[in-house]
Amino acid sequence: VKSDEGLYKPASWGENIYQMATPSKLKDALQQYKEKHGVEFTKCRSEFTIGPNTPSNRAIELNGSMMALDAVVSLESGLYPIVEPEISLKGKHTIDQCFCYALAVYAQLNAKLKQYGVSFRDVGVKTSFTVQGDKLGGRILPKEVAKMTFEALAKGFGFYTPESIGVFFMLSGGLDDKSSAAYLNELNERLKASPFNGKKVFMASYSRAMLDKALGVWAGNPRNVEKAQMKLLERAKAYSDARKGK
């Protein structure tokens, strides 16, 4: 269940901050979802847009604190929290700029989770690939995207420390279906060659990348249902293989 209340952009800040209910109200709501609907996990999201002066240190720190608090309340409610610090694809930023901001966001969130007493074994992270902005143009090879993404996650979330988060859900974040598969595949290839093979998990959390082509084939026509299903199965197989680094 989505545990945040969306994003708010203060006029004086010009960038998004995370919103959540008061901890007690959130806990009551989550317990009801668990009891009535069998919910097992929560997902809270913050979005960071790279611009001339964003994301700022105050936004990175505040969003990290709010996501960590959300994770605490989720765990107290008997649910598995997934925190989502999404670095937006929108903009003209380079992959190097994306790496620097992703590293700052991840390190701050990791520090806040630790400060708030969240066990790294009991939380997952959903985040985007480290890529250039969609308005920049050009193309970077999947191996380079995987390298930058892996290093940002490893350094930001402290892979080399005794305890660190082990489960990562990679989102497509507006990437096309083939890029999403290629990036995930290369990321898992890099994981297999690292000291963290078997200790970390990188899996897909793709909705648009999974469904867009299938919906396009279907186009609301009942005659196209079988073709659309085949397209959906094709993408599911591609992402399953990418999860294994094939």
Give the residue numbers marked as catalytic.
Answer: 84, 126
DSSP H or E segment with residue 171: strand 167-171
| Gap between the Cα atoms of 193 and 6, Å rounded | 38
Give the up-direction half-sphere exposure of residue 47: CA atoms within 13 A in the CB hemisphere.
15
User: Phi-psi category of 80—alpha, beta or left, where left has phi over 0 and alpha has psi -120 to 50?
Assistant: beta
| Gap between the Cα atoms of 56 and 137, Å rounded | 25
DSSP notation for 185-230: HHHHHHHHTSTTBTTBEEEEE-SHHHHHHHHHHHTT-GGGHHHHHH
Residue in 18, 177, 33, 32 with CA at minimum distance from that of residue 85: 18
